[in-house]
Amino acid sequence: MMKKSFFFLLVCFLIEQSVFGQSPEAQKIRKYGNENAGKIIGEFSEFLTLPNVATDPVGQQKNADFIMGMMQKRGIQNTQLLNATTPNVPPAVYGEVIVPGAKQTLIFYAHYDGQPVNPAQWSEGLEPFNPKLFTNALDKNGTNIPFSKDNNYNDDWRIYARGASDDKGGVVAILNAYDALKKNGIKPTYNLKFFFEGEEEAGSPHLNEILEKHQALLQSNLWIICDGPVHQSGKKQIVFGVRGDTNLDLTVYASKRPLHSGHYGNWAPNPGMMLAKLLSSMKDENGKVTIKGFYDDVTPLSPSERKALDEVPSVEEQMKIELGINDVEMQGLTLSEAINQPSLNINGMQSGNVGKMASNQIPTIATAVLDLRLVLGNDWERQQQKVIDHIITQGFYVTEKDPTDEERSKYAKIIKVIREDGVNAQRTSMDLPIIQKVISAIKLTTTDQVVLQPTMGGTLPVYIIEKYLKATTVTVPIANHDNNQHAENENIRIGNLLDGMVTMGALMMMK
């Protein structure tokens, strides 16, 4: 009998640990989320109906006003729109909670703008700004069900809409985490500031202006960036650095007017072929970038970063199955190792038309957008220059404008290269005391491993925050990894949204 009840108690304890293995405070936040899911998700889905492309200042103003309303409803103080010096820039939305006795301040960051959308590429029945609820991911046979006002939401359900995970979900998790603390009478241990940006997906071109202009208001001991996905294993992760990022827009020129492919095919140059040959020259068959010096400048990982990297759970085989791929581009590297290298990706390329719009012609131009991701040590302008130098070695005349007739008559291979703005990579030391507190706080929200990532693949404006405010930053993502961020069918898993509240809440009361 004795043994049996001990065994029973042990089982109960293990169940308790695996199912409710969070601190009592974390459990309270999760309970609040479950019991208020209808209200939380109702407000969220209203937020998601507002188009949020950074280049649309009118649309962005509506989003900013909506967030102001969300904060005011929650009794957050000193709410205001922080404008840049440049006019017609989507404002950052600010608010704060002064906690009696608190000596230090955390700023919670998320962004409310989203990547541009091409509605035609979304699956049938989905629209970027008409959020829909599904019983699971689309590729896991999820079916559309109506939003409901009661609180009966399942963790595996998903909301599909632009911004669902990147990063309106972050705004919603942060503000509802604060609500959950307040309703449960839990006092934050830090003064809290909230900063929601409206231009992150456009590369934060005016964030420096906003930070400089409102420097006094934005003092803090730590910025917590809530953006990006949790680990592919489903485990929570803390991210200490981000890849930098910059783009190059390439346009290769052929004939000034489109030509009939029969009358001129294989006499007049084809811009698609010229571009294909150029792009093809940039990588070898093992996925390694062949551009001279491309992997130079990289700052090596510190011993503790190397150790953290070694402890990242292996997800390669799982991800290959999930993504339906048989092999990886960069031979011999794990995903986390690949992310700690600079990369070159073809975001898009186009020449003429394909599919139903295809016609038998030689197009006039071929274009490609290259995405260069950077790691610590890389400089974005230097990285761009390496690519441009490579293009020159391939026999191209490089210009920044459409070629003149004179240039056309002089050069066989002409390319326009537009250098987009960029940001460098950033990495915060894991050994800082406040960072150790972050790690401890997140560990209290789960019995599972917390993955420590020296570098996240995504690019967040932490470099700018560090540079203009001399601030310390850490990134704590909450979205499911299969959220289709930046692409069609963006979505967030309900469980990730509600757990995200727990994570954010834990940070507000970290000790």
Q: Within positions 152 to 211, which residues make up the interface with a second copy, using CB under 8 A? A: none
Please, which residue, 445 or 455, has the CB nearer to a second copy?
455
CB of 239 to a second copy, least distance (A): 11
Of the candidate spans 18-26, 360-368, 377-385, 496-504, the one that interacts with a second copy by CB under 8 A turns out to be 360-368
Determine contact, residues 475/237, Cβ cutoff 8 Å.
Answer: no
Please, which residue, 55 or 429, has the CB nearer to a second copy?
55
For 140, which DSSP code? G
| Rounded distance between C-alpha atoms, residue 189 and residue 33, angstroms | 21
Please, which residue, 271 or 505, has the CB nearer to a second copy?
271
Q: How many CB atoms lie within 10 A of CB 400?
A: 8
> Which of the residues 403 through 432 are near a second copy (CB under 8 A)?
403, 405, 408-412
Three-class secondary structure assignment of 297-312: CCCCCCHHHHHHHHHC
CB of 174 to a second copy, least distance (A): 21
Q: Indicate whether 262 belongs to the interface with a second copy (CB under 8 A).
A: yes
Please, which residue, 366 or 464, has the CB nearer to a second copy?
366
What does each C-alpha distance from 139 to 45, 142, 194, 234 come to in angstroms?
A: 22, 7, 35, 17
Could you give the string, one character per residue 108-127, with x where binding to a second copy holds by CB under 8 A and - elsewhere?
-------xx-x---------
Determine contact, residues 117/106, Cβ cutoff 8 Å.
Answer: no
Please, which residue, 113 or 179, has the CB nearer to a second copy?
113
* β-pair partners for 81: 93
Please, which residue, 230 or 444, has the CB nearer to a second copy?
230
| Rounded distance between C-alpha atoms, residue 281 and residue 260, angstroms | 28
- Which of 99, 298, 349, 398 binds a second copy (CB under 8 A)? It is 349
Q: Indicate whether 352 belongs to the interface with a second copy (CB under 8 A).
A: yes
What is the Cα 40 distance to its own chain's centre? Answer: 22
- Look at residue 185 and give its three-state secondary structure: coil
* β-pair partners for 54: none
Q: In what helix (H) or strand (E) does residue 17 lie, and over which residues does it extend?
A: helix 2-20
CB of 411 to a second copy, least distance (A): 6
Could you give the string, one character per residue 76-105, with x where binding to a second copy holds by CB under 8 A and - elsewhere?
------------------------------
> Which of the residues 361 through 400 are near a second copy (CB under 8 A)?
361-363, 366-369, 371, 373
| Rounded distance between C-alpha atoms, residue 487 and residue 119, angstroms | 10
CB of 307 to a second copy, least distance (A): 21
- Which of 50, 172, 173, 456 binds a second copy (CB under 8 A)? It is 456
Query: Which residues fall within 8 angstroms of residue 115, CB to CB, at 6 or more apart?
Result: 53, 162, 166, 201, 485, 486, 487
Structure tokens at 21: 């293995």
CB of 423 to a second copy, least distance (A): 11
> Which of the residues 467 through 496 are near a second copy (CB under 8 A)?
481-482, 484-489
Q: Indicate whether 356 belongs to the interface with a second copy (CB under 8 A).
A: yes
| Rounded distance between C-alpha atoms, residue 468 and residue 98, angstroms | 24
> Which of the residues 4 through 43 are near a second copy (CB under 8 A)?
none
